[in-house]
Chains A and B, each alone.
Chain A
Amino acid sequence: MSDYNFAYLDEQTKRMIRRAILKGLAIPGYQVPFASREMPMPYGWGTGGVQVSAAVLTPEDTLKVIDQGADDTTNAVSIRRFFEKTAGVQVTEATTDASVIQTRHRIPEQDLRADQILVYQVPIPEPLRFLEPSEVETRKMHSLEEYGLMHVKLYEDISQHGDIATAYAYPVKVEGRYVMDPSPIPKFDNPKLEMAGIQLFGAGREQRIYAIPPYTQVVSLDFDDYPFQASKADHACDLCGAKDSYLDELIVDDQGGRVFMCSDTDYCSTRRAQGHVGAQGSPIQEDAA
């Protein structure tokens, strides 16, 4: 016998989280309160996502964990190892091979299938928090669909600061009802929130779970004079040549040399393995790694 339960959490905690997930799926975009547990990792490391994954995983699952698109950051590696050890699941870096994907701040480039589950780590689940610090008040605003002030503030940000002010965590309206924070994904990813897979969001510190069922309408808030644009760097990936992927910009030498590369490392390496080559080819790959 190991000294912890399957997937670490005790069964009563899992039942509580599972009930919250079901209500979340029944009320898309609505934040269901849950009693977050201490996890053997700091809050900034995605304890909300980890608890949701723990409640969802079965021993037959294959888990992928990404941190801003990358599988190899300390955060991603430690979460992957945590579930390898506590749930005995297979792990993978390949999006296609994963049945459950836990993510911090990105949606994989490759479209998810109906049999895949995407679990988001969420730092601040409340899209109205920057307007209103009181939870009692934001709950009231959601219940009354009082989103006017939110629109005004968003309009001011966009009209005064342009795209930069709203590049991440760009608010969406789910199924015409709840305004939802999609977590700090780049707004480039927003159109992918309408997908075939099940999307679950977990905020550990704030103790909220919410969900988007497959094929649910998710609309990024916008304005007639500032229509929503899923923007990205106007560049192709220097490693694989992809023109359709979200890019990270890296400074690669002392002379200010730059390279643009896919933020989704699996997408990039899969393309390179297929023979696609970007403008700076493979030598840069060594330096940037």
Chain B
Amino acid sequence: MQAQLLEGGFADLPVDASHTFRAVMTAMARPGDIMDVAGAKPPSPLSTACGAVLLTLCDPDTPIYLGTSHNTPEVRDWITFHTGAPFSDVENATFAIGTWQALPLSEFAIGTPEYPDRSATLIVETADLSNAGTTLKGPGIKDQAQLSLPEQQAFQANAALFPLGLDFIFTSGNRLAALPRTTKVS
């Protein structure tokens, strides 16, 4: 138990974090691109990719909301030990982690007109991540891209809030993709 808690962080934090950030940045800049990440071994049900993103972006300045799917003692202890991030309610969360069904979308911070960046980033754990299904258009996409999204309507509603809105990172195993608020889905 204790051993598992202490393990699973980056072996070389600055270097592993730089690689993971490049993957996340590329994914956010190019919606639909699916990137591989490595280096984290978090406790189940956290995926490798979700663990790597947490180690790269989260710290005491980023309150995290855990969806019911991921709100276990093991997950909480691992995140606390490796990132120092506090856990929060939905409204105050900078990051959220959970399956699509476990995240109460309408309650997260979407930013303010003067500070649209003060919005939550949702890390959505998914069983499947592939370039099929929903069509994506918008900044970062040359013509169009395809990504397996859990649904369309929620992302259409989110894009309609622009420049406010939520941003999404989808994680599955050791892979991730992202969907900023600018992406039009159909």
Interface positions of A (Cβ within 8 A of B)? 5-7, 11-12, 14-16, 18-28, 30, 32-33, 55-59, 114, 139-140, 142-144, 175, 177-178, 196, 198, 211-217
Contact of B15 among A24, A58, A139, A144 (CB under 8 A): A58
CB-based contact A22/B116 at 8 Å = no
Q: List 18 A-B contacts (CB under 8 A).
A: A6-B18, A11-B14, A14-B21, A15-B61, A18-B56, A19-B57, A19-B62, A22-B25, A23-B119, A25-B25, A26-B28, A27-B116, A27-B182, A30-B116, A58-B22, A198-B25, A214-B30, A215-B140
B118 to A, closest residue via Cβ: A23
Nearest chain B CB to A128's CB is how many angstroms away?
13
Q: Which 10 A-B pairs have the closest CB atoms?
A: A6-B14, A26-B180, A143-B113, A213-B140, A23-B117, A216-B139, A58-B18, A213-B139, A139-B114, A213-B29
Query: What CA separation (Å) do A36 and B58 show in the bound complex?
Result: 18
Besides A19-B94, A30-B116, A58-B18, 5 other A-B contacts (C-beta < 8 A): A15-B56, A23-B167, A26-B28, A27-B117, A215-B140
Q: Which residues of A contact B14 (CB under 8 A)?
A: 5-7, 11, 14
Query: What CA separation (Å) do A14 and B17 show in the bound complex?
Result: 9
Contact of A30 among B28, B140, B142, B163 (CB under 8 A): B163
B81 within 8 A of A: no
* Cβ proximity bits B123-141 to A, threshold 8 Å, 1 near / 0 not: 0000000000000000111
B74 within 8 A of A: no
* Cβ proximity bits B82-126 to A, threshold 8 Å, 1 near / 0 not: 000000000000100000000000000000011111010100000
* Cβ proximity bits B13-36 to A, threshold 8 Å, 1 near / 0 not: 111011101101110111000000
A interface: dominant SS: mixed
Interface centre among A15, A57, A212 (most CB of B within 10 A): A15
Chain B, 32-83, CB within 8 A of any chain A CB: 56-59, 61-62
Q: Which residues of B contact A213 (CB under 8 A)?
A: 28-30, 139-140, 180, 182
CB-based contact A57/B18 at 8 Å = yes
Q: Which residues of A contact B21 (CB under 8 A)?
A: 14, 18, 55-56
B175 within 8 A of A: no
The number of chain B residues with a CB under 8 A from chain A is 38
Q: Which residues of B contact A11 (CB under 8 A)?
A: 13-14, 17
Q: Which residues of A contact B94 (CB under 8 A)?
A: 19
CB-based contact B163/A177 at 8 Å = yes
CB-based contact A22/B121 at 8 Å = yes
CB-based contact B29/A20 at 8 Å = no
Q: Which residues of B contact A57 (CB under 8 A)?
A: 18
CB-based contact B139/A215 at 8 Å = yes
Once A15-B59, A20-B117 are accepted as A-B contacts, the answer to whether A26 and B18 lie under 8 Å apart by CB is no
Once A14-B17, A213-B140 are accepted as A-B contacts, the answer to whether A25 and B28 lie under 8 Å apart by CB is yes
CB-based contact A27/B181 at 8 Å = yes
Nearest chain B CB to A139's CB is how many angstroms away?
4
Query: What CA separation (Å) do A261 and B123 show in the bound complex?
Result: 50
Q: Which residues of B contact A198 (CB under 8 A)?
A: 25-26, 29
Query: What CA separation (Å) do A286 and B160 show in the bound complex?
Result: 58
